[in-house]
Amino acid sequence: MKAAIYPGSFDPVTYGHLDIVARAADLFDKLYVAVLNNPAKSPLFSVHERIEMLSDAVSHLANVCVESFSGLVVEYARARGAIAIVRGLRAVSDFEAEFKMASMNSHLAPEIETVFMMTVSEYSFVSSSIVKEVASLGGDVRAYVPERVAVRLAERFATGSSGV
């Protein structure tokens, strides 16, 4: 049984993330989508809210499990018996940070491979941060995130509160 993890902030999940999840779920027997629990990043949505939105969006994929983790990604991968860390690549600008992270992780855990998947062109410009920016200004983001996420964004920006 080949398991992989797909770690990230997912604050909130976008169709770009979901495209990677669906494709990675086809490649591996089991995929753990892992929400990084890092309060230092001051996210808009709490870990609980991010897990809820992700779980809802991947409920049709039987081999995908959504959970949170903290600490080293490679330790989390080992704990799940994963052979790979999945990451998505958009523009060249993603490359440098991803290269550093993958290199460090391969030193820390040589047995775990980082697998990069290219974004599909229609979501190549979609990021959680640009979606939040547009939503905060009252823009329509339903082309980039599931309906329930768009509703949550609208609610959050209407009340002006942020998550922990």
Q: Which of residues 75-94 bind ligand ADP (CB under 6 A)?
A: 87-88, 90, 94
Piece of the chain touching ligand ADP by CB under 6 A; list 5-13, 23-31, 53-61, 62-70: 5-13
Asked whether 82 and 5 are in contact (CB, 8 A), the reply is yes
- Write out the two tokens for 55: 């779980």
Minimum Å gap between C-beta 118 and ligand ADP is 8
Please enumerate in sequence order all residues whose Cβ is within 8 A of that of 113, keeping only pairs 6 or more positions apart, or say none: 83, 84, 85, 106
Q: Which of residues 96-125 bind ligand ADP (CB under 6 A)?
A: 119, 123
Asked whether 29 and 65 are in contact (CB, 8 A), the reply is no
Please enumerate in sequence order all residues whose Cβ is within 8 A of that of 99, keeping only pairs 6 or more positions apart, or say none: none
Q: Which of residues 17-46 bind ligand ADP (CB under 6 A)?
A: 17, 20
Determine, following the binding rule CB under 6 A, whether residue 128 of this chain makes contact with ligand ADP.
yes
> What values do phi and psi take at 4, rounded to 5?
-135, 160
Chain residues binding ligand ADP by CB under 6 A are 8-10, 14, 16-17, 20, 87-88, 90, 94, 119, 123, 126-128
